[in-house]
Chain A
Amino acid sequence: MTSKTVFITQEGPANALALNKDNSQVVIAGRNVFKIFALLEDRFEEVCNLRVGKNLNLNFSCNDVAWNLTDDHILATAATNGAVVVWNLNRPSRSKQEHVFVDHKRTVNKVSFHMTEPMWLISGSQDGTMKCFDLRTKEATKTFYSNTESVRDVQFSPHQQHTFAAVSENGHVQQWDLRRPDRYFQHFTAHSGPIFACDWHPEATWLATASRDKTIKVWDLTAKPSCDYTIHTIASVGRIKWRPQRKYHIASCALVVDCSINVWDIRRPYIPFASFNEHKDVPTGVAWRGDPQSFLSTSRDCNLYHHVFKDATRPASKANPQGIALNAKGDIAYACKVNVNAPTSSVRKQLIYPRKMPTSNDTFYMAFSMMHRFTVTTPQEPKWFKACAEGYLLSGKLNEICDHNAVVASKAGRNDISTVWSITKTLYTDSLGNILTTPPTVSKEDAVNTLNLSQMAIGPNAEQTNTGHENDVKSLQGEAPGVISGGDDETETDETPENHHFIGPIPSGYRRSFSGSKRQPKGDFFFGEGELEPMTMEYTNAYMHNIINNDNDWTLPKEAFPLRHEIQDRSPPPEQFPNHSPDINDDTGAITVEDQPCQLIVTAIPKPVFWDPTHLIEEALRHHAAIRDIQTSVSILIALGDRRKILNIEMATQEHWLLEYIDMLGRFQLWEVATQIIQLAWMPSVSQLNQQSTTIHACCSTCTKPLQRSAWLCDRCHTSRHALCSICHQVVRGIYVWCQGCTHGGHVTHISEWFNSNRQCPTGCGHLCEYT
């Protein structure tokens, strides 16, 4: 039984257990159980049931049991009725009861044999006394009065023959000399609550005490008692036992709550070194089997367990040794366990960790953490987020907003976002504003993009975004990761034909719109690289003409404009566009434009490419939300004003975006921006955010009593003087305005009329009031 955790269940709970001197047998004793078991290799075997006889009186009901350390056949029990009973296993009769001492007046808590003198037995009782019995004379030779209400534990010192320690319910520890029963020779207060147990260290001059105050304290008693270690446990401690051959280890079990038996390293008093969780109820006794690897325990769950150390759980190994946190600025706080053993080869050490337990045992108590803060020297994200949040215009004319915001974004280093704003501008301000009245003219570049559109419109959504992404990635490859990719796109964007010689905003509007969804690089790729498969283009007749006649000039001839009615009539509704395109392709011929680096197959179609940016914007917004750039999505959404109504984005999603953005602004403490957004919000759930739990308290100006029922009548002075208008001298019952300088005020209309022509306060107080 040295290597296995085994248990045996009894009919009743045992209060205590004791091992014989060679640790081969164990006795367990309780109110209804009193048995001896032999410890076999893989099980317990009952050797003797001591609870036999005709008269099973209270003498059989045990609080504690002790096995003589020299004579293997002598046992002693502390009975609940105040008796101390001695048992002789060598008695020939069935009953092994040898002698009953009935000296104590109340229940006996503890019995203990002397280490070297087999005839000496000491007891501690609830009556506040300790008695020393001589088994030869069968009488209580000495009585020690503790002057406390009850003695919970007594233990002979292993170091000094005549010394024993006693602990009591009032938190005191006493040291007595057996030869001087009149008075203890040492006395101190160890705990703030009752002490339930004590245990002498087998080698050091330490006495450990366990208390209801949830602590275990280790006292050095060589000179003046000093508390060397304190262990904070999670519950009242009922029993403690030093672990043999391990100087700093002590086992403890709780009196309540905690069913586990913990073994502590007193140098690391916060977390058990090992924990045994087999019991289902609180353990009542612990006894080491002489070696540090195994011990026995009894519990209120009626089980007797044999525990082996290798089956213990190690709470510290499950404990998370690291902490990490990131804040809004991007700072990282990091705490990690310092590797005491091998600070240089940490990786290697970790690999051998599970196998090499001794290493962890040796360093167990040396656990401590280091904490570091890593600050970002050049914070990127928070900076542009703040700059954009504060700089963005959100209401007004869309094109102004877009222009302004594009500048803000590019100043913040967000060139890609800046482009998005410009695109938005051209998409909406021009397309919706002008396009309906001008022909949907397209330059060649636009044609390329038109193609993209058609592809996009036809293909399933997911695929489309993927291709978009791939292009992004392509352009990104070779860049250091972590750099915001948009920057790259932007530089290319600037080279694109938009800057060349367009006639009007319309074509560029088109061009940009496409790249808007594609995030620019697509167009660039198709163009600059010429490595993509042939492209099909949908084109108006007029434009075909244009291109063919006027290869090198991509500007639109003015003559194109008169065509608009015709074109407009034929322009299909945007939604139908995807459906139409196959037909369109069918009846049109393909033309290859030779002078392009890429092979362009231009299909001439009779229908104009009038097209609605809605779903493109929608895509863009969703895309930015997906890449966690909620700022852009929300800002554009707000800037769009009523145009957002035609976007096919569910209200719930829009609300979601707004809430997330507001939350993010909160983190950066950009309250003003957040408030602005709340005010601009078009859904009640968001716009009412600021109206919740906002109360203004007002007081009467004469008696300073808070105005409770109404703002214009004071409950104490029963007047409305404080609410009179300075001009008409009537009580103001609606909105009251006042100057914070002189506190005078009145009806909004009256005051504003007055200040149209005057600067001083209407009351004549001489104050130059300032209203904003």
Chain B
Amino acid sequence: MFEAHSINAEHKDLIHDIAYDFYGQRMATCSSDQFVKVWDEDEHGNWHLTASWKVHSGSVWKVTWAHPEFGQVLATCSFDRTAAVWEEIVGEGSGPGERGMRHWVRRTNLVDSRTSVTDVKFAPKTLGLLLATCSADGVIRIYEAPDVMNLSQWTLQHDISCKLPCSCLTWNPSLSRLHPPMLAVGSDDSNTSNGGKVFIYEYSENSRRWTKTETLSNVVDPVHDIAFAPNLGRSFHTLAIATKDVRIITLKPVQDSAQSGLSRFEITTAKFEDHYCTVWRVCWNIMGTILASSGDDGCVRLWKDNYINNWKCVAVLKGDGTSAQSTETPLTTTPPNHPTGVQQPLSTTRNVTIATVTAEKPTAPIMSTSKWQAPVTKGRFSKSVWLGNPAEPSPLPPPILDRPKSKK
């Protein structure tokens, strides 16, 4: 199903981030070696290095593309406490070879942070040219370029403090006016007693402020990456989190607190431990149908859901390119009565479920029968995971649904 191609990036240190542009035809990589490299795809599907330049004086943590309607624009953030915006320009010089030459120029350097800037992301284009950064001292900053034609002027619009060191952020990509601008931020604070590590911020048009509307209290381990799924017309939001495991969280806005102007959410969490080690990255495909996660096990796992939002691992790709596995070629076979104490590196079925509901009434976990999936027994390991608040009384076991098997 997948073919692996090795790319010799020739970065001199770790590569920390890869980003495709809007169309998926350009790719940018950034590394601790303080360089960003831009790769372009030719018509035969081969990728070529087209630019490579020193962007910061420290490790470059993240690189991200702006929507192409703003031009060929990249933003980077670094250990050197700055974030920068870069634009590719086509040379207009008269010298030989200068004309038509493309090169990247720094349009601005955002120096407000006093610590390492850990993530940088452009807002959905409907909000204008907006850039959010977050830093190791727990400050989220939102910059705006009031004139989209002038990328060298950015004004710091908001400065939000979130107490814990931030490691990653993501914009809710929804283009709907029904959804207020929303950001999710993750913290890699390793102290689990500091509570939830994922925060949801929403912008209120009335107060013109960003306010924390939710803290995902069941994510207490350090969060390394976070990603909203493409919205594609859904009324709810899906958030993937890379922590010690992979979590997929859906946030359904609940309109009972309309008077306060802030929507609260009904939160459903699904958790997958297939990596059995720290998960570093999560990334959605553009349709929001596939989630890719990668962890210290050096594997990329692809997740897909079925019609009841039951996510399953559908493929495992090894990072060294030696083998690309997918479920078509069966994974390791497991004896049916495998002792549950032993962890298995690979399992195909993993069940999911529910969780706490609105922040307002956290006491009673709502159980809806349909959300507990009866384990699919196909001779493989499977189990149900309860993800409620540990403080709450443990919930009833999943109801046994008396559901006859279908004819197949």
A466 to B81, CA, bound (A): 49
CB distance from A667 to the nearest CB of B (A): 6
Q: Using Cβ atoms and an 8 Å threshold, which residues of chain B touch A331?
A: 24
Q: Using Cβ atoms and an 8 Å threshold, which residues of chain B touch A234?
A: 57-58, 79-81
Q: Are A660 and B24 in contact (CB under 8 A)?
A: no
Cβ of A742 < 8 Å from any Cβ of B? no
Q: Which residue of A lies closest to B125 (CB)?
A: A663
Q: Are A652 and B406 in contact (CB under 8 A)?
A: no
Q: Which residue of B lies closest to A629 (CB)?
A: B232
A156 to B191, CA, bound (A): 46
**Size of B's binding interface in residues, CB under 8 A:** 106
Q: Are A325 and B406 in contact (CB under 8 A)?
A: no
Cβ of A381 < 8 Å from any Cβ of B? yes
Q: Are A477 and B406 in contact (CB under 8 A)?
A: yes
Q: Which residue of B lies closest to A233 (CB)?
A: B57
Cβ of B258 < 8 Å from any Cβ of A? no
Q: Are A321 and B1 in contact (CB under 8 A)?
A: no
Q: Are A347 and B276 in contact (CB under 8 A)?
A: yes
A320 to B290, CA, bound (A): 22
Cβ of A58 < 8 Å from any Cβ of B? no
Q: Are B280 and A271 in contact (CB under 8 A)?
A: no
CB distance from A256 to the nearest CB of B (A): 12
Q: Are B59 and A529 in contact (CB under 8 A)?
A: no
- Of the candidates A325, A337, A372, A472, the one whose C-beta lies within 8 Å of that of B14 is A337
A326 to B18, CA, bound (A): 9
Task: State which of B127-135, B156-164, B314-322 sits at the interface with chain A.
Answer: B314-322
A346 to B368, CA, bound (A): 40
Contact with A along B281-308 (1 / 0, CB 8 A): 1111111111011111110101010111
CB distance from A318 to the nearest CB of B (A): 6
Q: Using Cβ atoms and an 8 Å threshold, which residues of chain B touch A634?
A: 233
- Of the candidates A318, A381, A660, the one whose C-beta lies within 8 Å of that of B289 is A381
- Of the candidates A326, A351, A371, A473, the one whose C-beta lies within 8 Å of that of B283 is A326
Cβ of B175 < 8 Å from any Cβ of A? yes
| Residues A312-343 near B (CB distance < 8 A) | 315-316, 318-337, 339, 343
**Size of A's binding interface in residues, CB under 8 A:** 91
Q: Are A318 and B2 in contact (CB under 8 A)?
A: no
Q: Are B296 and A350 in contact (CB under 8 A)?
A: yes
CB distance from A515 to the nearest CB of B (A): 15
Task: State which of B26-34, B89-97, B100-108 sits at the interface with chain A.
Answer: B26-34
Quick one: given A481-B312, A628-B287, A633-B233, are A469 and B16 in contact (CB under 8 Å)? no
CB distance from A83 to the nearest CB of B (A): 38
Q: Are A375 and B2 in contact (CB under 8 A)?
A: yes
Q: Are B286 and A328 in contact (CB under 8 A)?
A: yes
Cβ of A478 < 8 Å from any Cβ of B? yes
Quick one: given A320-B224, A323-B29, A369-B15, are A328 and B23 in contact (CB under 8 Å)? yes
Cβ of B178 < 8 Å from any Cβ of A? yes
Q: Are B24 and A327 in contact (CB under 8 A)?
A: yes
| Residues A445-465 near B (CB distance < 8 A) | none
A650 to B255, CA, bound (A): 15
Q: Are B408 and A477 in contact (CB under 8 A)?
A: yes
Q: Using Cβ atoms and an 8 Å threshold, which residues of chain A touch B32?
A: 270-271, 316, 319, 367
Quick one: given A346-B298, A371-B6, are A333 and B319 in contact (CB under 8 Å)? no
Q: Are A630 and B328 in contact (CB under 8 A)?
A: no
Q: Are A377 and B2 in contact (CB under 8 A)?
A: yes
Q: Are A368 and B11 in contact (CB under 8 A)?
A: yes
Cβ of B208 < 8 Å from any Cβ of A? no
A525 to B403, CA, bound (A): 13
| Residues B230-247 near A (CB distance < 8 A) | 230-235
Q: Using Cβ atoms and an 8 Å threshold, which residues of chain A touch B31?
A: 369
Q: Which residue of B lies closest to A463 (CB)?
A: B370
A512 to B276, CA, bound (A): 47
A324 to B312, CA, bound (A): 19
Cβ of B361 < 8 Å from any Cβ of A? no
A182 to B176, CA, bound (A): 78
- Of the candidates A270, A330, A475, A660, the one whose C-beta lies within 8 Å of that of B408 is A475
Query: Which of A268, A329, A472, A475 is most buried by chain B, counting CB atoms within 10 A of its CB?
Result: A329
Quick one: given A339-B298, A652-B178, A660-B175, are A334 and B18 in contact (CB under 8 Å)? yes
Query: Which of A234, A322, A663 is most buried by chain B, counting CB atoms within 10 A of its CB?
Result: A322
Q: Using Cβ atoms and an 8 Å threshold, which residues of chain A touch B51?
A: none
Cβ of A476 < 8 Å from any Cβ of B? yes
A217 to B362, CA, bound (A): 58
- Of the candidates B34, B224, B280, the one whose C-beta lies within 8 Å of that of A270 is B34
| Residues A143-159 near B (CB distance < 8 A) | none
| Residues B349-408 near A (CB distance < 8 A) | 368, 370, 376, 403-408
CB distance from B138 to the nearest CB of A (A): 14
Q: Are B406 and A663 in contact (CB under 8 A)?
A: no
- Of the candidates A326, A473, A478, A666, the one whose C-beta lies within 8 Å of that of B307 is A473
Q: Are B306 and A481 in contact (CB under 8 A)?
A: yes
| Residues B164-178 near A (CB distance < 8 A) | 167, 174-178
Q: Are B298 and A378 in contact (CB under 8 A)?
A: no
Q: Are B308 and A323 in contact (CB under 8 A)?
A: no
Q: Using Cβ atoms and an 8 Å threshold, which residues of chain B touch A659?
A: 126, 175-176
CB distance from A68 to the nearest CB of B (A): 38
Q: Using Cβ atoms and an 8 Å threshold, which residues of chain A touch B177?
A: 652, 655-656
Q: Are B175 and A324 in contact (CB under 8 A)?
A: no
Q: Which residue of B lies closest to A333 (CB)?
A: B18
Q: Are B24 and A329 in contact (CB under 8 A)?
A: yes
Query: Which of A233, A336, A368, A667 is most buried by chain B, counting CB atoms within 10 A of its CB?
Result: A336
- Of the candidates A328, A369, A371, A528, the one whose C-beta lies within 8 Å of that of B407 is A528
- Of the candidates B6, B22, B61, B235, the one whose C-beta lies within 8 Å of that of A320 is B61
Q: Using Cβ atoms and an 8 Å threshold, which residues of chain A touch B7?
A: 333, 371-373
CB distance from A348 to the nearest CB of B (A): 10
Cβ of A626 < 8 Å from any Cβ of B? yes
Q: Which residue of A lies closest to B330 (CB)?
A: A480
- Of the candidates B18, B289, B302, B307, the one whose C-beta lies within 8 Å of that of A335 is B18
Q: Are A368 and B307 in contact (CB under 8 A)?
A: no
Cβ of B110 < 8 Å from any Cβ of A? no
Contact with B along A627-663 (1 / 0, CB 8 A): 1101001100000000000000010110111011101
- Of the candidates B11, B232, B277, B368, the one whose C-beta lies within 8 Å of that of A369 is B11
Cβ of A664 < 8 Å from any Cβ of B? yes
| Residues B219-276 near A (CB distance < 8 A) | 224-225, 230-235, 276
Cβ of B20 < 8 Å from any Cβ of A? yes
CB distance from B306 to the nearest CB of A (A): 6
Q: Which residue of A lies closest to B63 (CB)?
A: A323
CB distance from A634 to the nearest CB of B (A): 8
CB distance from A694 to the nearest CB of B (A): 13
Q: Using Cβ atoms and an 8 Å threshold, which residues of chain B touch A257?
A: 81
Can you report 28 A-B residue pairs in the complex whose CB atoms are below 8 A from each other? A315-B116, A319-B61, A323-B281, A324-B18, A325-B283, A326-B292, A328-B20, A328-B286, A331-B24, A332-B300, A335-B18, A346-B298, A350-B277, A350-B296, A367-B32, A373-B4, A373-B47, A374-B2, A376-B2, A473-B308, A477-B376, A477-B406, A528-B407, A531-B404, A626-B234, A650-B178, A660-B231, A660-B233
Top 10 closest pairs, chain A to chain B, by CB: A327-B24, A656-B176, A234-B80, A369-B15, A328-B24, A335-B15, A625-B233, A323-B18, A327-B20, A659-B175
Give me the interface of A with B, judged by CB distance under 8 Å.
214, 232-234, 257, 268, 270-271, 315-316, 318-337, 339, 343, 346-347, 350-351, 367-378, 381, 385, 466-467, 469-470, 472-478, 480-482, 485, 525, 528-529, 531, 625-628, 630, 633-634, 650, 652-653, 655-657, 659-661, 663-664, 666-669
Other than A346-B296, A372-B6, give 14 A-B pairs with Cβ distance below 8 A.
A271-B79, A319-B32, A334-B300, A334-B317, A347-B276, A350-B296, A369-B31, A476-B306, A528-B407, A630-B232, A656-B177, A656-B233, A660-B176, A669-B23
Give me the interface of B with A, judged by CB distance under 8 Å.
1-9, 11-20, 22-25, 27, 29-34, 45, 47, 57-59, 61, 79-81, 116, 126, 167, 174-178, 188, 224-225, 230-235, 276-278, 280-290, 292-298, 300, 302, 304, 306-308, 310, 312, 314-315, 317, 319-321, 324, 326-328, 345, 348, 368, 370, 376, 403-408
